[in-house]
Structure formats: structure tokens, C-alpha cells
Amino acid sequence: MKGLFRGINVLVRLSIIVVVLLIVESSATNYESKIESVNENRTINLTTMALKLEEDIANDIYSAKDTYTGDLTGYTANCPLCGGRLGCLPSYNVLNGTETYPDQTYGNVRIVASSSNLACGTVIRFNKASISSEPVIAIVLDRGVIGNDIDLLTNSTEYASKNIGRSSISYDILRTGW
């Protein structure tokens, strides 16, 4: 009888060890996942490429959304018909000679006046070698011109007449409105 109990005891212990090992093994299972590409030629369809290109252009703040042609002129905040207040941002003080605006996206940009063809807050880019060797980035914060013309805010009428005058330019729309 003693031998039978000893045999059952050994069998129970072995069973417990086997159960514990099975539990440990099943809880420590490693999972592997594989991704297979059924596209063996590694090609993208044209629709996907076009959507990606449109997304990249929309996300690129310096890509042109549209292009206009108009006359560029210069003006000062204290001209005879100017009150020193901007049409789009009347609280912004430009009577102290300020020519730039600190835009959150584009940094310090020049201030321009345009017609209502361009919404307030629209950011444009144009080239004018007599103003800068780099492209000029400007924001529409004022009104007072017609059509597609642009009027660049300057600190003096002398600078406006000497460096800007009146010239035909093409300019890119980088952002429409605020």
C-alpha cells in the first residue's frame, strides 16, 4: 500500500510539473507577422501618385497655389490719402515705419495692399531685383488698388519711387487668406 501511495505521489508531481511547463510555454508564445506584397513589380497606380502629389503640394508652404500678373507699385502709411490704418488689420501700427508683419507660418513678411480679388491674409511671392535679390514674400493686409495690382508698403515715398516705381510682375499665391 505504501508503494501505491508513493507511485501516485510521483505521478501527481510529474503531472503538476508538466502542466506548469505547458502553461509557461503557451504564455511565452512569440508572435511573428509578415507583410507580403502581391505587387511584384513594385508599381503604384497613377491615381495614388496623383493623390500623393496633391497632398505634398498642399503641405508645402512655398509651392505656388496660383499665379497672377499685375502692376507692382509702392506706397507709404502716411501718404495724403492714407490714414495709417491697414484695411485688413486696423489695429496693426504702420505709422512708425513698419513694413513687415510677423506671420506664424512664414515669419516676417512684407505688407502689401490689393483689391478684394485677394482675401485678407493671403501670402504672395514675387521677384523684384531692385527690392531684394531673394524672392519677396508678402501678406495682403491692406486694400486700395484695383484688379490684380499689388501695392507694397514702404517707409518712404522716395524709396517707393526709386526702387519700385510701377512695373508689371507675376506673383505666386502661397496661401489664400488666413
pLDDT digits (tens, 9 = 90+) for 128-173: 998 999 999 999 999 989 999 999 999 888 999 999 999 999 999 9
Indicate whether 23 belongs to any domain: no
Do 51 and 143 touch, CB atoms closer than 8 A? no
Residue 118: give the domain boundaries.
65-175
- How many structural domains comprise the chain? 1
Indicate whether 152 belongs to any domain: yes
Indicate whether 53 belongs to any domain: no
Ramachandran bin of 173, using left for φ above 0, alpha for ψ from -120 to 50, beta for the remaining angles: beta
Indicate whether 164 belongs to any domain: yes
Residues of the chain with pLDDT under 70: 27-43, 57-58
Pull the grid cell for residue 27. Answer: 504564455
Indicate whether 168 belongs to any domain: yes
What does the pLDDT read at residue 111? 96
CATH number of the domain to which 156 belongs: 2.40.40.10
**Residue 150 belongs to what H/E stretch?**
strand 150-154
* CA proximity to 115, closest of 154, 88, 82, 75: 88
